[in-house]
Amino acid sequence: MLGTPAQRQALDDHRRRLVAAARKNGKAVAMLTDTVEGVRQMIGLGATIINYSSDAAVLRSGYASVVDEIRRTLSARS
């Protein structure tokens, strides 16, 4: 199932079961995602705690955007 078109649906089904079991037992549900769309999806599935990305990914993204801006500035000077 991993890597097939059915993967997303299977994972969502398991997430829904997890949320239902957690609510039944008075527990919070934490999920990890690395996109804004993923955050929306996790909220829709019922997650109560959402961990967005990781420290390393956020730092990498920030540095990458700065490097891109520097490159654009240098290209414009040429």
> What pLDDT is recorded for position 2?
79
Closest CA to 12 of 50, 38, 49: 38
The crossing angle, in degrees rounded to 10, of helices 36-45 and 7-24 is: 50
DSSP 53: S
The answer to whether the beta carbons of residues 64 and 55 sit under 8 Å apart is: no
Q: Kindly state the helix (H) or strand (E) to which residue 37 belongs, with its residue range.
A: helix 36-45
Q: What is the pLDDT of residues 9-47, one digit of tens each?
A: 999 999 999 999 999 999 999 999 989 999 999 999 999
58-73 per-position pLDDT tens digit? 899 999 999 999 999 9
pLDDT above 90 (res 55): no
Rounded Cα–Cα distance for residues 51 and 76 (Å): 38
